[in-house]
Amino acid sequence: SQQGEEDPQALSIQEGENATMNCSYKTSINNLQWYRQNSGRGLVHLILIRSNEREKHSGRLRVTLDTSKKSSSLLITASRAADTASYFCATDRGSTLGRLYFGRGTQLTVWP
């Protein structure tokens, strides 16, 4: 069964707006990762946040993690049409080294 579940399933915004995607998971984790997938391509790693971290930044990306609520959010600021893609969160389960459990993803569309 999948570990992460993204919300919303689809998000449509205008260029310049911020996009927020959420991820909920069920079990304890060592870290949580966010990936991006452009149409017809493989997944590309965006950012990793460890279970003892609460917030992390990378360029226009901001990731938060709330282990008490078993949830994470990915914020893309000042979005661009090129940000149009599917975004996935992935978690481990602590004891299962190596495996990643992906959610179904959020499809983000940014209109110019």
Partner 1 sequence: DAGITQSPRYKITETGRQVTLMCHQTWSHSYMFWYRQDLGHGLRLIYYSAAADITDKGEVPDGYVVSRSKTENFPLTLESATRSQTSVYFCASSDILPGQGRNTEAFFGQGTRLTVV
What is the contact surface with partner 1 in residues (CB under 8 A)? 1-2, 30-31, 33, 35, 40-45, 48, 88, 90, 92, 97-105
79 vs 103 by CB, closer to partner 1: 103
Residue 77 has phi, psi (to 5 degrees) of -90, 155
**Least distance between partner 1 and beta carbon 99 (Å):** 6
**Least distance between partner 1 and beta carbon 52 (Å):** 12
